[in-house]
Amino acid sequence: MNEISQIFEIVNFGLVILDSELRVKHWNQWMARHSGIDAERITGAFLLDFFPELKTPRFLRSCKMVLAFGNFSFFSQKLHHFLFPFRPDGAFKSMFEHMQQNCTLGPLRNDFNAVNGIFLIVQDVTELASYEQKLVEMNMKDGLTGIYNRRFLQTRLSEECQRHGRYGAKLSLIMFDIDFFKKVNDNYGHQCGDSVLKSVTANIASIIRKTDYLARYGGEEFCCLLPQTGLTAAHRLAERFRHQIEALKIPCQSHDIKVTISLGVSELRSEDSEEMLLKRADEALYSAKSSGRNCTAAIA
């Protein structure tokens, strides 16, 4: 085995060489290890017979581009996740079902400079992708409650407002907070305060639609963004929130804590900015608070 062939087997990424008919000419150790298919078995066979999932317009187009133009083609993990359906290697099994891959296709030429084959490189980027996914989640979620954070809400809000501007889609917002939350902290301690925050948000999260966005807006203040929803429906939903929480018993240490929430509802008007929508919800919440708490107020 010459030095180059040794390297071919040693490298810590997948290397495949295909002829112009997409038959496998070389299949390195790495590919054998992750696919469970030995080089002897696949050499000479059509790659697509072993991996029918590669029969996509994108993959076939890439091969044609390599053969006709000497083009390179890149399959990024970001969009494609993977090309070959391999199991993840090692400790990252829980996060992804498949090994995340960045793949590159490029031309191999004969002595006359004509393209007569394709090389395919497969890089395992599962670890990187899982870090990235965690970062993305950290960036949009609240650490304590697991619901969206304020920054994410702002982004969604401006996107939904744009959609409203473009398509006239309805949009409502419920802003609510926990009544006398400071007393919970003072009477039962901060651990119980955290439990209350978690239970309240988990409860509300369980009754909203997938298309709604529940976010922690401040300490004990929350927002729920409701696309395709008018004021009346939003008000009805807010009341459901209120009844749900009113009936909720939150066990903490030896206590069963009970809390109530006050809610403000507003709907986006056609000339509105996102700040205006927030401001009116906030005003509605204030008026709910001042009319005795544990109630809902709406400003159209």
Partner 1 sequence: MNDTQISEDEQDILQEIMNIAFGQAAAELAEIINIFVVLSVPYIRMIEAVDLPGYIQTEFSEFGNISIVEQNFWGDFKGTALLIFPAGSGKELVSLLDDSPAAEFQYSDILEKETLMEVGNILIGACVGKVAELLKDMVTYSPPKVIVEDHPDITMSKTLFDPANSAIILKTVFCFNERNVHGFLFLITSHKSVVWLKTALADFMKQYE
Q: What x-and-dash track marks residues 100-119 binding partner 1 by CB under 8 A? A: ----x-x--x---x------
How many residues sit close enough to partner 1 to count as binding (CB under 8 A)?
Answer: 20
Instruction: Select the residue interacting with partner 1 from 8, 70, 130, 276 (CB under 8 A).
Output: 70
Choose the stretch contacting partner 1; rule: CB under 8 A; options: 54-62, 85-93, 184-192, 267-275: 54-62
Q: Least distance in Å: CB of 250 to partner 1?
A: 35
Nearer to partner 1, 181 or 213 (CB): 213
Instruction: Select the residue interacting with partner 1 from 6, 43, 56, 253 (CB under 8 A).
Output: 56
Task: Determine whether 220 is an active site residue.
Answer: yes
Residue 126 contacts partner 1 per CB under 8 A:
no
Q: Least distance in Å: CB of 105 to partner 1?
A: 11
Contacts 24+ apart (CB under 8 A), 232-238: 233/172, 234/172, 234/173, 234/174, 234/265, 234/267, 234/298, 235/265, 235/296, 235/298, 237/174, 237/208, 238/174, 238/176, 238/263, 238/265, 238/296, 238/298
Residue 72 contacts partner 1 per CB under 8 A:
yes
Q: Give yes or no for a contact between 106 and 116, defined as CB atoms under 8 angstroms apart.
A: no
Q: What x-and-dash track marks residues 13-52 binding partner 1 by CB under 8 A? A: ----------------------------------------
Residue 58 contacts partner 1 per CB under 8 A:
yes
Choose the stretch contacting partner 1; rule: CB under 8 A; options: 46-54, 58-66, 141-149, 167-175: 58-66
Tokens of 121: 């490189």
Interaction site with partner 1 (CB under 8 A): 56-58, 61, 64-65, 68-74, 76, 78-79, 104, 106, 109, 113
List residues with catalytic annotation.
220
